[in-house]
Amino acid sequence: MQINDKSALVILSGGQDSTTALFWAKQQFMSVETISFDYGQRHKIELDCAKKIASIAEVPNKRVSLSSLSQLSDNAMVNETNIELNKETSLPTTFVPGRNLLFVTMAAAFAYEKRIPNLILGVSQVDYSGYPDCREETMKSLEKTISLGMEFPFKIHTPLIHKTKRETVLLAKELGIVDVLKFTHTCYKGQNPPCGDCPACELRAKGFAEVGINDPLIKSPFERGGTK
């Protein structure tokens, strides 16, 4: 099988950013697939969102288990830890060490089999979190590592890396997918309608407010059905 330069694999979490990155990829590439990871996150709703969004985008969604990640560290994404700054590391307790490094490596292994050279991630190094595995430098280094380690010309694309949440909402608007965002999941507490006061909810609300449009997730929470 030949390498298909026009094909891409999107790491889809079910959140606003990876969803926007997916529809960006659909504009850039002829053939797009998605991959989602079950890493023992507290809120499985994310994975259902990813499945739903992939079906709206009419692309395949591969789900892969990485449940061992939750055995390795204690953080607010996999355990009932409070969401706050870790005083030792100055990183939020929502930081899952190694998460994106593993995701990219696993996605690359899957893409390699399918001869897909383009990997897409919706990470941003602007605004809030400061996760070190969302930075451009990390992505460049990972791109080199997976390309060397699998001897395959991978290219990692991060269309949101320098975008603020406001600019990400603007991109969604340009792509004509604001309505699709009602199926995304953001809240760290896993609540639907979103809690409105966790850092993820606050950041999302700020982005929509700055663009001056309504968040469809908040406008029509009941259309999605379910409360958790």
Q: Which residues bind Zn ion (CB under 5 A)?
A: 187, 189, 194-195, 198, 201
Q: How far is the CB of 209 from Zn ion (least distance, A)?
A: 15
The Cβ-side half-sphere exposure at 95, using a 13 Å CA radius, reads 20
User: Judged by CB, which is closer to Zn ion: 26, or 165?
Assistant: 165
The Cα 134–Cα 125 span in angstroms is 6
CB 9 within 8 Å of CB 118: yes
Question: Starting from the edge strand earliest in sequence, which strands make up the sheet with 118-120, in order?
Answer: 61-65, 31-38, 7-11, 118-120, 155-157
Residue 11 C-beta: closest distance to Zn ion, Å: 22
Query: Which two three-digit tokens encode residue 175?
Result: 């792509």
Cis ω on the peptide bond leading into residue 193 (within 30° of 0)?
Answer: yes
Q: How far is the CB of 186 from Zn ion (least distance, A)?
A: 7
Closer residue to Zn ion in complex, CB, 34/94: 94
Closest to 180 in 3D by CA, of 49, 48, 43? 49
CB of residue 48 to Zn ion, shortest distance in Å: 17
Q: Which is nearer to Zn ion, 62 or 189 (CB)?
A: 189
Q: Which residues contact 92 (CB under 8 A, 6 or more apart)?
A: 76, 83, 84, 85, 86, 129, 130, 131, 199
Residues shown for the chain: 228
For residues 80 and 98, what is the distance between their CA atoms, to the nearest angstrom?
A: 19
Q: Which residue lies nearer to Zn ion by CB, 159 or 207?
A: 207
For the CB of residue 18, give the shortest distance to Zn ion in the complex, in Å: 17
Residue 75 Cβ, how far from Zn ion at the closest point, in Å?
A: 16
Return the number of the residue (157 or 165) whose C-beta is nearest Zn ion: 165
Question: CB-wise, 130 or 199, nearer to Zn ion?
Answer: 199
**Cβ proximity of 69 and 102 under 8 Å:** yes
C-beta closer to Zn ion: residue 33 or 46: 46
- Nearest-approach distance from CB 108 to Zn ion, in angstroms: 31
